[in-house]
Structure 1
Amino acid sequence: MAKWIGVDLDGTLAKSVSTMTGGIGEPVPSMLTKVKDWLQRGQPVRIFTARAGDPKQVRAIRAWLRQHDIDKCGITDRKDLDMIELWDDKARRVEKDTGKVCSGCRPKPSNHSSLDGAVVFTDC
């Protein structure tokens, strides 16, 4: 299976809206551009959201993705060994095998490359 990038929906790819409405906010322009670029390069992207457990929400997400020309994205609420990155407004970086919250991230080692050529701060 292909390696994929997970992108959270609410607060990351889409602007936050009231949870009472259940709607999906307008796109966050910089994230929408990243997702479109990844898809254009053939990089699989999955929308990683708790909403994926509700078939009604999956239909709403699928319609939102079509509306914003990123309907090649998968939709999931599960990660697996093929997920290579997670973009999420709530995630905290934890040092591998220690349980310690990263106190200061540094750029990935030179043997890693980010998908968009930017320096990615993830490895503690």
Structure 2
Amino acid sequence: MSKWIGVELDGTLAEFNKQYPEEIGEPLGYMVSLVKGWLKDHQTVKVLTPRASTSSGMSKVKAWLGDNDLNGVEVIASDPDMVTLWSSRAVRVEFNSGKLCRGCSDAPVQKHSLPLRAGGQLGSAMRFVDERVYLTDC
């Protein structure tokens, strides 16, 4: 089995609106940029969402991904009853921003080839160390 990067849909890749939970929200630019960078580098990215547990939900997710130039991302159904995920590989993301959590100063982040611009979204948040990327301003 090949290695892959998992990204949650609601609140991480797409804005989640509690008033309209059935709708997939607007794309969260920061995370979309990260995913596009990983795809550009031919890394496997999978979106996890309980929406994909039905065929109509899966269709909506795939359409949303296509509309946001994220074709090639696999969709995996996650359990809608999951409250939290405990993992040594999880990186916390601020809800509805798609940005990495400010409290995760030593969290490893998957490296990709997006340019790191001084003062830019990625440039101010990360620095490269060996084969891993670490957050520095969380």
Range into which the TM-score falls when normalised by the shorter chain: 0.5 to 0.7
Q: CA deviation at 1:8?
A: 0.3
Q: Rate the CA distance shift 1:5–1:107 in 2: closer, same or farther, 3 A.
A: closer
Distance in 1 between residues matched to 2:55 and 2:19, nearest whole Å: 17
Q: Which residue of 1 aligns with 2:6?
A: 6
Tell me the amino acid that sits aligned with residue 42 of structure 2: G
Q: Rate the CA distance shift 1:89–1:53 in 2: closer, same or farther, 3 A.
A: farther
Q: Which residue of 1 aligns with 2:134?
A: 120
Distance in 1 between residues matched to 2:63 and 2:72, nearest whole Å: 12
Give the number of aligned pairs: 101
Q: CA deviation at 1:11?
A: 0.2
Q: Which residue of 2 aligns with 1:23?
A: 23
Tell me the amino acid that sits aligned with residue 111 of structure 2: L
Q: Which residue of 2 aligns with 1:56?
A: 56
Q: Which residue of 2 aligns with 1:68?
A: 68
> TM-score by structure 2 length?
0.60
CA deviations on 1:62-92 (whole Å, 9 max, x unpaired) are 00000011110000035xxxxxx555648xx
Q: Rate the CA distance shift 1:33–1:104 in 2: closer, same or farther, 3 A.
A: closer
Q: CA deviation at 1:42?
A: 0.2
Distance in 2 between residues matched to 1:104 and 1:29, nearest whole Å: 20
Asked if the contact 1:12–1:88 (Cα under 8 Å) also holds between the matched residues in 2, the reply is no
**RMSD value over aligned CA atoms?**
3.0
Give the secondary-structure state (helix, strand or coil) at the position aligned to 2:61.
Answer: helix
Q: Which runs of 4+ in 1 moved over 6 A?
A: none
Q: Rate the CA distance shift 1:89–1:49 in 2: closer, same or farther, 3 A.
A: farther
CA deviations on 1:36-73 (whole Å, 9 max, x unpaired) are 01001000000011112111110000000000111100
Segments of structure 2 that go 5 or more residues without pairing to the other structure are 79-88, 95-102, 114-125, 127-132
Identity %: 31
Aligned counterparts, 1:74-93, within 5 A: 74-77=74-77, 86=90, 89=93
